[in-house]
Structure 1
Amino acid sequence: MVHATHLTPSEIKRELAILLFEQDRLTLARAAALADMPWLTFQHLLASRGISPHYDVAEFEQDLIALQQTEMP
């Protein structure tokens, strides 16, 4: 079935990240991580598709926790 999409595994992850972000199932930082993209690059990708960043305080707090968990010691 994946072959039918004519997408690479990385493109599939990016598309899934976009879809989950658009459905408010992932925060911006988590969607960018799923897409293997820096969050700013992912945000530009969203903008190029006309998807607003719908970002609130709760999502910001979740992203701070996610960033702290991924920081190098």
Structure 2
Amino acid sequence: MSSIDIPSDVLDAMAAPPEDREPIVRQELAVSLYREGYLSFGKARELAGLSKAAFHRLLGDRKIQRHYKEADLALDVAYGQD
């Protein structure tokens, strides 16, 4: 598993409690990558650490249009079988 190194001074600069900072970064990254089409819904949800319903709500709150295609379905089905 790869990881992204976020400088501690960047995390410390976030106006959020320390225990919320990593989840916020993961969710923001997941939403952005999904919105731009770099990640499927399933992978973005996984990155965000949210359930399907919670990630749908997050995208809805942000008014982000879903772009689920047949290819995404195939990837999600294949991933679910692993």
Q: Which runs of 5+ in 2 are unaligned?
A: 1-9
What is the CA-CA distance between 1:6 and the residue it aligns to?
A: 2.8
Question: Displaced runs of 4+ in structure 1, greater than 3 A?
Answer: none
Aligned residue in 2 for 1:13: 26
Q: Which runs of 5+ in 1 are unaligned?
A: none
- Partner-residue secondary structure (3-state), 1:26: coil
Higher relative contact order (CA 8 A, sep 6+): 1
Using structure 2 for the length normalisation, give the TM-score: 0.76
- Partner-residue secondary structure (3-state), 2:38: coil
**In structure 2, C-alpha distance between the alignment counterparts of 1:14 and 1:67, rounded to whole Å:** 21
RMSD: 1.2
State the identity as a percent: 28
- Partner-residue secondary structure (3-state), 1:6: coil
Using structure 1 for the length normalisation, give the TM-score: 0.84
**In structure 2, C-alpha distance between the alignment counterparts of 1:38 and 1:68, rounded to whole Å:** 18
CA distances 1:6-36 after superposition (whole Å, capped 9, x unpaired): 3410111011000010111110011001111
